[in-house]
Amino acid sequence: MTDTLIGVLGIGGMFVLLALRVPVGMAMLAAGFFGTWVLNGQRSAVAILSAETFSAVSAYSLVVIPLFILMGNISSAAGFSRGLYDLAYAWVGRFRGGLASASILGCAAFSAVSGSSVATAVTIGKVAIPEMDRFGYSSKLATGSVAAGGTLGFLIPPSTGFVLYSILTEESLGRLFMAGILPGILLTVLFLAAIALTTLIDPAAGPRGHRVPLDERLGRLMGAMPLIAVIVISIGGIYIGVFTPVEAAGVGATLVLIFAVVARKLTLPMLRDVFLDTIMTTTMLYVIIIGAGIFSPFLALTQIPESLGNALSALGLGPLGTLIVILLAYTVLGMFMDALSMLVVTIPIVYPIILGLGYDPIWFGVVAVIVIEMGMITPPVGINVFVVKGVAPNVPMAAIFAGVLPFWFAMIAALVLIIAFPGIALMIPNSMFN
């Protein structure tokens, strides 16, 4: 039996485990450990298991994970998301589809402290969907805007997707965070354009709201200022070189905690729940990191990435054609796998191919995160759709999937623009680090 065939069987076994609802980290760990055992023996497999586990739990750079998760959890528990939504509504609510646009803007702002698409969709959805229902919005537009807006949490820094991509590829997390800023803004604008087009075709889908006086708009701006200050200080600190990503996460989490305590937004039971949720989420991500660290050496031993790269080169599609094939494969996988699973399973295979094609790995990190975002609202899995269904149980699943369709095409437009103009992703990190 050849090494490549063993690799194929190992990957197949991993997908069987995933189908049986085994957590992705444990499925990758099992496939990598036993595959390495078959190829290199028990001693090598145990050595990789112990080394990767120790390096993951002791790595200073990974401290960014619990700190950013803590920052998002405190912000959510303290109700700061409501202030962001109210601010967005005060400025854009008077336009047709304004509440849906406010949901997108609220999601974009909250993404800058949460790093999680699910947390963003749940937090903003609980505030926005009842308001849109009260103003007579179409259930498709109301739920679709929240489900799609939540995906911004996977792209706008601090993004869990970029953290995992950085770990899997050993690319600079600071560069990845900076590379996500302009694409995040671009995708937000395209989502707003999708709402404008939807309400232009069907004005009844998103009625205009009332005009908020200027003094009240400024008052809401002041009310949201603490969280805006955290976003500017933490992300801006990375941009100007004052903080590393780990330091920015620590500063952001501390500031959010201080603001929540001063505003008396947190009780001791709430704080306990925040810490428990942070520990549980961090543990899940660390298991994924450990599993990916064991699975990647196994793939290298099987030479599957190299064989796949040679096969794609033999097709004669050229770099762009090969990239399109890879993105189409991601789109299909997105129909059946959740975002984190797609990222950790595919990047060890795809990353060497991307380097061989001559593409910038930071740029590809942005492209990969966006196409994985598409899977969050693509049937039949579409995790963000299921999350919004939980917030709006009376809305049929088919209506939510129909509601996200305009935003799905907006993501396609964003991908086309970033592929055609790589500077959208690379301008900020290149200006900072070169």
Per-residue pLDDT tens digits for 54-94: 887 787 777 888 888 888 888 878 777 777 777 887 888 77
| pLDDT value, residue 213 | 81
Residues with Cβ within 8 Å of 101's Cβ and at least 6 positions away in sequence, in order, are 88, 92, 95, 145, 192, 195, 196
**In the prediction, which pLDDT does 179 show?**
92
Q: Kindly write down the DSSP assignment for every residue of 157-184, as one continuous string.
A: SS-HHHHHHHHHH---HHHHHHHTHHHH
Q: From the CB of residue 208, how many other CB atoms can be counted at a distance below 10 Å?
A: 15
Does the pLDDT at position 250 exceed 80?
yes
Mean pLDDT of 250-274: 86
Q: What is the pLDDT of residue 170?
A: 85
- Three-class SS of residue 357? helix
Sorting pLDDT into bands at 50, 70 and 90, what band is 434? low
pLDDT: which is higher, 381 or 276 = 276
Average pLDDT for residues 129-140, to the nearest whole number? 86
Residue 342 pLDDT: 81
- Mean pLDDT score, 118-144: 85
Whose CA is closest to 182, among 406, 408, 366? 366
Query: Which pLDDT score is estimated for 183?
Result: 95
E strands, 120-249, are none
Residue 421, pLDDT above cutoff 90? yes
Residues contacting residue 417 through CB under 8 Å, at least 6 positions apart = 186, 424
For residue 394, give both structure tokens: 């009376």
For the chain, the first-to-last Cα distance in angstroms comes to: 47
Q: Which amino acid is at 32?
A: G
Query: What's residue 50's pLDDT?
Result: 87
* pLDDT at position 13 over 80: yes
Segment 223-244 mean pLDDT: 80
Q: What confidence score (pLDDT) does residue 187 get?
A: 95
Cα dist from 102 to 98, 114, 125, 230, whole Å: 6, 18, 11, 20
Nearest to 165 by CA among 347, 337, 329: 347
Mean pLDDT of 21-31: 85
Q: Which of 97-101, 109-113, 195-199 has the highest mean pLDDT?
A: 195-199
Q: What is the CA radius of gyration of the chain?
A: 22
| pLDDT at residue number 176 | 92
Calculate mean pLDDT across residues 262-281.
86
Mean pLDDT of the chain: 85
Distance of CA 72 to the CA centre of its chain: 13
* Among the listed residues 88, 208, 201, 73, the one whose alpha carbon sits nearest the alpha carbon of residue 137: 208
**pLDDT of 323 over the 80 cut:** yes
| Among candidate residues 160, 154, 166, 131, the one with its CA nearest the CA of residue 59 | 166
Amino acid at position 431, single letter: S
User: What is the structure's pLDDT at 266?
Assistant: 82
**CA quadruple 416, 119, 345, 294: dihedral positive or negative?**
positive
Give 280 or 123, the one with higher predicted confidence: 280
What pLDDT digit, counting tens, does each position of 336-370 carry? 777 777 888 888 888 988 988 889 999 999 999 99
What value, to the nearest 5°, has the Cα angle with vertex 432 and ends 169 and 231?
Answer: 85
> For 199-221, what is the mean pLDDT?
82
Candidates 159, 147, 181; CA nearest to 388 is 147
Average pLDDT over residues 187-214: 88
- Token look-up 């200080």 returns 233
Mean pLDDT for 222-239 is: 80
What is the C-alpha separation between 188 and 153, in angstroms, rounded?
Answer: 11
Confidence at residue 94, expressed as pLDDT on a 0 to 100 scale = 77
* Residue 332 neighbours by CB distance under 10 Å: 12
d(CA 233, CA 416): 32
Phi first, then psi, for residue 377 (nearest 5°) are -125, 15
pLDDT-derived band at 231 (thresholds 50, 70, 90) equals confident
State the CB neighbour count (10 A cutoff) for residue 170: 10
Q: Residue 121 has which token pair?
A: 């969709």
Q: How far apart are CA 61 and CA 142, in angstroms?
A: 38
**Whole-angstrom distance, CA of residue 77 vs CA of residue 83:** 13
pLDDT value, residue 433 = 63
- Express each pLDDT in 394-418 by its tens digit: 888 888 889 999 999 999 999 999 9
- Confidence bin at 195 (pLDDT 50/70/90): very high
Helix (H) or strand (E) holding 105: helix 98-114
What share of the chain in percent tops pLDDT 70? 99
